[in-house]
Structure 1
Amino acid sequence: MKPIPKVSIIMATYNRSEYILESIQSIQYQTFKDWECIIIDDGGTDNTQQILEPVLKQDSRFQYFMRTPNYQKGLPGSRNYGLDLAKGDYIIFFDDDDIAHPQNLELCVLELSNNDISFCRYIRDIFRGDFIYNYDYSKEYTFFYIDSQDINKILRNELQFNSCAVMWTKECYSNHRYTEHLKYAEEWEVYARILTSVNRGISINKTLYYGRKHSVSITGDFGNKNLSSLASYTDAIQLVIANLKNKKMLSNEIIRYFIQVSLEYKEYSLFGRIINTLDLPKYEELKWRLFYAHLPLRLYFYGIWKRVKNNIH
Structure 2
Amino acid sequence: MNPKVSIIMATYNRAHFIVETLLSIQKQTFVDWECLIIDDGGTDNTEEVIAVILEQDNRFQFHKRPDTYVKGLPGCRNYGIDLAHGDYIIFFDDDDIPHPQNLELCLLELEHPSISFCRYIRDVFFEDFHYAFDYSKTYTSFYIDKSDIEKMLNNQLQFNSCSVMWKASCFEKNRFVETLMYAEEWELYSRIVSSGCRGISINKTLFYGRKHPQSNTGEYYLNNPVRRESYAEAILLVVQNLKEKQLLTYSLKRYFIAFSIDFEEYHLCEDILNILELSIFEKLKWQLFYAVLPFRLRLYKMRKVINKRF
**Alignment match of 2:281 (pick from 280, 283, 302):** 283
Matches within 5 A, 1:111-130: 111-114=109-112, 116-130=114-128
The answer to whether the 8 Å contact 1:71/1:81 transfers is yes
Shift of 1:114: 3.4
Partners in 1 of 2:283 and 2:28 — Cα distance?
Answer: 53
Q: TM-score, normalised by structure 1?
A: 0.96
The answer to whether the 8 Å contact 1:121/1:166 transfers is yes
Partners in 1 of 2:261 and 2:84 — Cα distance?
Answer: 41
The answer to whether the 8 Å contact 2:170/2:197 transfers is no
Q: Compute the RMSD of aligned alpha carbons.
A: 1.3
Shift of 1:311: 4.9
**Alignment match of 1:6 (pick from 1, 4, 7):** 4
Gaps of 5+ in 2: none
Query: Measured at CA, do residues 304 and 215 of structure 1 come closer, stay the same or move farther in structure 2, by a change above 3 Å?
Result: closer
Shift of 1:129: 1.5
1:98 partnered with 2:73: no
Q: Residues 78-100 of structure 1, C-alpha deviation per residue, up to 9 Å, x if partnerless? A: 00000111111111000111111
The answer to whether the 8 Å contact 1:8/1:91 transfers is yes
Which of 5-14 and 273-282 deviates more?
273-282
Matches within 5 A, 1:32-47: 32-47=30-45
Aligned to 1:169: 167
Matches within 5 A, 1:1-313: 3-114=1-112, 116-311=114-309
Q: TM-score, normalised by structure 2?
A: 0.97
Which of 260-269 and 68-77 deviates more?
260-269
Counterpart residue identity of residue 55, structure 1: I
Which of 55-64 and 27-36 deviates more?
55-64
Partners in 2 of 1:215 and 1:258 — Cα distance?
Answer: 27
Counterpart residue identity of residue 124, structure 2: I
Counterpart residue identity of residue 101, structure 1: H
Counterpart residue identity of residue 280, structure 1: L
Shift of 1:115: 5.5
Counterpart residue identity of residue 268, structure 2: L
Q: Residues 102-158 of structure 1, C-alpha deviation per residue, up to 9 Å, x if partnerless? A: 100000000001362111011111111111111111100111111111111111111
Q: Residues 53-77 of structure 1, C-alpha deviation per residue, up to 9 Å, x if partnerless? A: 2222221111110000000110000
Which of 278-287 and 150-159 deviates more?
278-287
Partners in 1 of 2:307 and 2:19 — Cα distance?
Answer: 52
Shift of 1:290: 1.8
- SS of the aligned residue for 1:18 comes to helix
The answer to whether the 8 Å contact 1:89/1:169 transfers is yes
Counterpart residue identity of residue 248, structure 1: Q
Q: How many residues align?
A: 310
Partners in 2 of 1:246 and 1:252 — Cα distance?
Answer: 15
Partners in 2 of 1:36 and 1:58 — Cα distance?
Answer: 14
The answer to whether the 8 Å contact 1:13/1:42 transfers is yes
The answer to whether the 8 Å contact 1:186/1:236 transfers is yes
- SS of the aligned residue for 2:236 comes to helix
- SS of the aligned residue for 2:110 comes to helix
The answer to whether the 8 Å contact 1:95/1:164 transfers is yes
Counterpart residue identity of residue 60, structure 1: N
The answer to whether the 8 Å contact 1:172/1:198 transfers is no
Partners in 2 of 1:256 and 1:197 — Cα distance?
Answer: 22
Tell me the percent identity: 59
Partners in 2 of 1:111 and 1:4 — Cα distance?
Answer: 21
Which of 99-108 and 195-204 deviates more?
195-204
Q: Residues 243-279 of structure 1, C-alpha deviation per residue, up to 9 Å, x if partnerless? A: 0001000011011111111112111111111111111
Shift of 1:163: 2.4
Counterpart residue identity of residue 86, structure 2: G
The answer to whether the 8 Å contact 2:120/2:201 transfers is yes
